[in-house]
Amino acid sequence: MNEIQIILSPEQAANEHFIKLKIAAEMNVNLCDISHFQIVKKSIDARGRFPLVILKLRVFTGEIPQYKYENEFDYKNVSGKREVIIVGGGPAGLFAALRLIERGLCPIILERGKDIHERKKDIAQINRNNEVNENSNYCFGEGGAGTFSDGKLFSRSKKRGNTQRILEIFHYHGAQDEILYEAHPHIGSDRLPKIVENIRKTITDCGGKVIFNTKVTDFIIKNSKIEGVKTANDDIFRSNAVILATGHSARDIYQIFADKKIDMQPKGFAVGVRVEHPQELIDEIQYNKQKNRYLPAASYNLAAQVEGRGVYSFCMCPGGIIVPSATDEKQIVVNGMSSSLRNSPFANSGIVVEINPEDLPDYQQFGALAGLHFQQDLENLAFINNGGKFQTAPAQRLTDFVKSKLSADLPQCSYLPKIISSPLHFWLPEIIGKRLQEGFLQFDRKIKGFLTNEAVVVGVETRTSSPIRILRDETSLQHIQIQGLYPCGEGAGYSGGITSSAVDGERAAEAVKL
């Protein structure tokens, strides 16, 4: 087996025969000697005049190898074994459950939302009829916030544990081969539901349980030790180990903690808007007008500093759509998702401003919940500024936003519940609006043509990460006051995104002591 790197045009890279010809030339072997090749990494270099595809390959000139995962996972039968309660069935909760099974412990996932099939119906209701079910929506339900998303599986941070293992577990449960070698792997909203369902099947086949429509409303704590949880249906689930993986939208959980005086801390987060361009325009800019059908929808990754705070693109969805991800009817929250083919005519991305706890002096009365109240006020403000009309989102042409001018009309937008013209520059708090305006000007200097009348700004993007950290001991990963409670994932403030939340869920499961 040899590992080589070859550089091809996008068209050549899409042709297996051509790749083999190039390998033969590179390795100085006959075409018929190449029994198999495996792509280890694929990336696109769009810096030059013509975009190029860089392939790192494993080439076999003997027998055909079986693909072998770098990591091993061994899902045992855990029926009748000691039970661990997991609150929340998002990436952190699901991967915690799989890891517990490997450890011979029996996971019981309590999930406030519905299973994937019922959840799909509620998602359709939001888009068609603007009806938001507070327990089943883009954030809540089987698979958590990541189920109806672009399914990007990379994170900004390089320090977040073994992400290859997470990719392999997704692959084992049905994700496409490409996620194992693409430089920026993504699964897509059309494939994620089936994969999430397969993960649930592994858990239940091994004897674990996933219980839907079960919202945890209280924690049973005696002598600073967790003994179980209570649910909205008045059921009690008992265990001396509870993994808390409720995500950043579970505001009621933070309130329960505040009422019980359980230690939490405010942390930095980011809020802003989603901006949408025609995908064609982003392709033209990023591929030097060389886009062809062999290249994927182009993306961008932008960052600027304005008045000491970061302004940056977040969760970009090339060939995607903007989605209504509120968890309550009287709030507007936007986010983005794409299918595996990323083939919608739009490119959207969150453009957000970093907020530090000291940026919110008017919210200090709320203590650790300051950022949460700020997020909530913004979401309500967006609702009021849509004219109080269901999930219609306030929007403005990008150039008008930067020039502080109301838009007379709006370009086409992918957001299904409709957009309405609104002066976001005027009603967004200055610490966000002014910084976004300056940030957009800087972005246009980085990628010429970004600032265009054809782009639209849609408000508000508030659920980028948790504004709160639920404090845990660095070694035991248990809450600093409550033995047996393991806060993890994005809601507890220890991860951001699908992959790092899954990694953190695994870490929590490894730390469980019973």
Contacting residues toward ligand FAD, per CB under 6 A:
87-93, 110-113, 138-141, 144-146, 148-152, 215-216, 245-247, 249-250, 253, 315, 323, 325, 335, 337, 489-491, 496-499, 501
User: Sheet of 36-45: strands edge to edge?
Assistant: 2-8, 52-60, 36-45
Task: Report whether 203 contacts 212 (CB < 8 A).
Answer: no
Nearer to ligand FAD, 146 or 411 (CB): 146
80: left (phi over 0), alpha (psi -120 to 50) or beta: left
Nearer to ligand FAD, 140 or 346 (CB): 140
| Dihedral sign computed on CA atoms, order 373, 376, 382, 387 | negative
We find the least distance from the C-beta atom of residue 139 to ligand FAD, in angstroms, to be 5
We find the least distance from the C-beta atom of residue 273 to ligand FAD, in angstroms, to be 15
We find the least distance from the C-beta atom of residue 396 to ligand FAD, in angstroms, to be 22
Q: 35 is written with which tokens?
A: 């029994």
User: Which residues sit opposite 39 in a β-bridge?
Assistant: 57
We find the least distance from the C-beta atom of residue 203 to ligand FAD, in angstroms, to be 14
Q: What is the DSSP string of 186-237?
A: B--TTTHHHHHHHHHHHHHHTT-EEE-S--EEEEEEETTEEEEEEETTS-EE
Q: In this structure, what DSSP letter does residue 47 have?
A: S
Strand pairing class (106-110; 83-87) = parallel
We find the least distance from the C-beta atom of residue 193 to ligand FAD, in angstroms, to be 13
We find the least distance from the C-beta atom of residue 130 to ligand FAD, in angstroms, to be 17
Closest by alpha carbon to 375, among 478, 274, 288, 268? 268
Nearer to ligand FAD, 51 or 505 (CB): 505
Nearer to ligand FAD, 336 or 394 (CB): 336
Nearer to ligand FAD, 138 or 269 (CB): 138
Torsion of CA 361, 364, 366, 372, to 10 degrees: 40
We find the least distance from the C-beta atom of residue 223 to ligand FAD, in angstroms, to be 24
Mapping DSSP onto H, E and C, the string for 340-372 reads CCCCCCEEEEEEEEEECHHHCHHHHHHHHHHHH
Q: What whole-number distance in Å separates Cα of residue 239 and Cα of residue 228? A: 5
We find the least distance from the C-beta atom of residue 138 to ligand FAD, in angstroms, to be 5
User: Which residues sit opposite 348 in a β-bridge?
Assistant: 276, 317
Nearer to ligand FAD, 439 or 487 (CB): 487
Nearer to ligand FAD, 165 or 215 (CB): 215
Nearer to ligand FAD, 37 or 494 (CB): 494
